[in-house]
Every structure is written in C-alpha cells, then in structure tokens.
Amino acid sequence: MKLTAFPAILALAAVSACAPAFAQSADQARTAHKDTEFLKQANQGSVDEIYLAKIALKKSDDPDVKNFAQKMIDDHGKLLEDMKSFDMEAGISIPQHDSVATDALKAKFDVLTGKTFDKAYIKDMVEDHHKDLEDFIAEEKSTGYPAFKDAVGKGEKVVREHLQMINSIAKKNGIPPAPVPASGM
C-alpha cells in the first residue's frame, strides 16, 4: 500500500505527542493501515447494503422489511458521503460494485420469494449488522485520528440503530435477534 495523506496525518499527530519517534511511527503506521483497511471495508459494506436493500424493496411484500431496506439505502448513502473526505485523504475510492460475497447472496435471493425471501434477508441483515457494529466499536476504540474517531462514532450510532431495528423485525418473524454490543464510547 502506498503512503498517502491519511497515514501521514496520523504520523504527524503521533510525532506531536512527544513520545519516542521510532515507537510512535511504527505504532502510527499500524494504526493508519488499520484505519485505511476499516474505511475500505466500511465503504464496501455500505455499497453492499444499498445493493441488497434495492433487491429487498423489489422482492418483499413485508412493510417492515421495505421500510428497513429504504433506511439502508438512505443511511448507507449518507455514511458513504460522510466518509468521502477520509477516502480522499487515504487515497481510496468508493467501490463501484457490490462484493463477490454479495453477488453470491444475490444469487441465493434471486430464487427466493415471499416470506422465504424476507426471512433470508432479515437473517442476513441481523448477522451483518451485528458484525458491523462490533467492527465500528473496535475501530472507534483503536483509531488515533480524532476526526476519524468522531466520524466512526457517528457511523457506530447509525449501525447500532440498524441492528436494533432489524432485531425488532427479526423477533416479529420468529428469527433470533443478535446481541447489541455496548457502545464504544
């Protein structure tokens, strides 16, 4: 991975903290790499959520599922927008396509209809948002870049709301909900 402005900003922040430069630069390099990887994964996750939500809007007859899907489109679109400045600093771009894993899920969803589709979508969203929330909490705790930490914290709140919403829909449909981890703050 090439050194970009995002890691450089993190490295400058570490140098200004007045600890030994060698230890800080190594720690900051690891943190910067982790932050950039998280940002890439979060962007891909948002693109995938939007893609799957569009399928749910077309295939579902359940108003709760449709409302959730529309919220995914709206909120994940905003998350992508909110992270653009960090994308530019890190020298990465927003993915233009869904992931290979999402393509496989789409193939599964293509053959499902009615309640069977709804249950599969709900189950996937419960699992996905639980994992995403854990990832946001971990990133919020580990990043050394204050502006990014704030943005990740805002994203964590959105993902937490999504998990709570889909857990409620899951319960109505007889699907086990996922535990909601404690906040990262």
Instruction: Compute the CA torsion angle 142, 148, 154, 160 (nearest 10 deg).
Output: -30
Q: What pLDDT is recorded for position 114? A: 94
Domain annotation covers residue 122:
yes
Domain annotation covers residue 73:
yes
**Domain span holding position 13:** 5-172
Q: What is the pLDDT of residues 57-108, one digit of tens each?
A: 999 999 999 999 999 999 999 999 999 998 898 888 888 888 888 888 899 9
Domain annotation covers residue 178:
no
Token readout for 97 is 């396509």
For the chain, the straight-line distance linking the first and the last C-alpha, in angstroms and rounded, comes to 30
Domain annotation covers residue 183:
no
Token readout for 167 is 């857990």
Domain count, the chain: 1
Domain annotation covers residue 149:
yes
70: domain CATH number? 1.20.1260.10
Domain annotation covers residue 25:
yes
pLDDT at 2 over 90: no
